Amino acid sequence: MKILHNPKCSTSRTALKLLEEKGAKLEIIKYIDDKLSVDELKDIIKLIGINPIELVRTKEPIWKEQFAGKSLSDDEIVNAMIEFPQLMERPIVIEGNRAVIGRPVEKVIELLK
């Protein structure tokens, strides 16, 4: 099981703690420091089953200042999240061929079943 984790995010910390308490074997990916590749992010988006814009934190100042109101392709949105990883919703938990955005945190429990 993998968790895309931002230690500065309380929801991400809560999800990590919950998974550790459940005994999950985790690979922790600190995606802010170790940026994902375009292909990795596209694969994650497919696993979650969403459109790229649904992974964007549209209330982030960077989004509002640089991207809001623009007509962006899916590739442009993915590239924005690669350049500014803080734009990605978090945490993201991946187990095999399934993935969820851990908001609310209880969603991560679904992957343990």
State pLDDT tens for residues 2-53. 999 999 999 999 999 999 999 999 999 999 999 999 999 999 999 999 999 9
The range of the structural domain enclosing residue 106 comes to 2-110
Reported confidence tier of residue 66, pLDDT bands at 50, 70, 90: very high
**1 by DSSP, 3-state: which?**
coil
Chain position carrying tokens 């100042």? 61
Residue 25 belongs to domain with CATH number: 3.40.30.10
| Confidence at residue 113, expressed as pLDDT on a 0 to 100 scale | 78
Reported confidence tier of residue 110, pLDDT bands at 50, 70, 90: confident
**Mean pLDDT, the chain, as a whole number?**
96
With the C-alpha atoms ordered 80, 83, 84, 88, is the resulting torsion angle positive or negative? positive
* 8 counts as catalytic: no
Sequence-distant (6+) residues with CB within 8 A of 51 are 45, 74
Domain count, the chain: 1
| Confidence at residue 111, expressed as pLDDT on a 0 to 100 scale | 86
| Annotated catalytic residue, options 4, 9, 92, 99 | 9
Q: Is 77 exposed, middle or buried (0-12, 13-18, 19+ CB in 10 A)?
A: buried
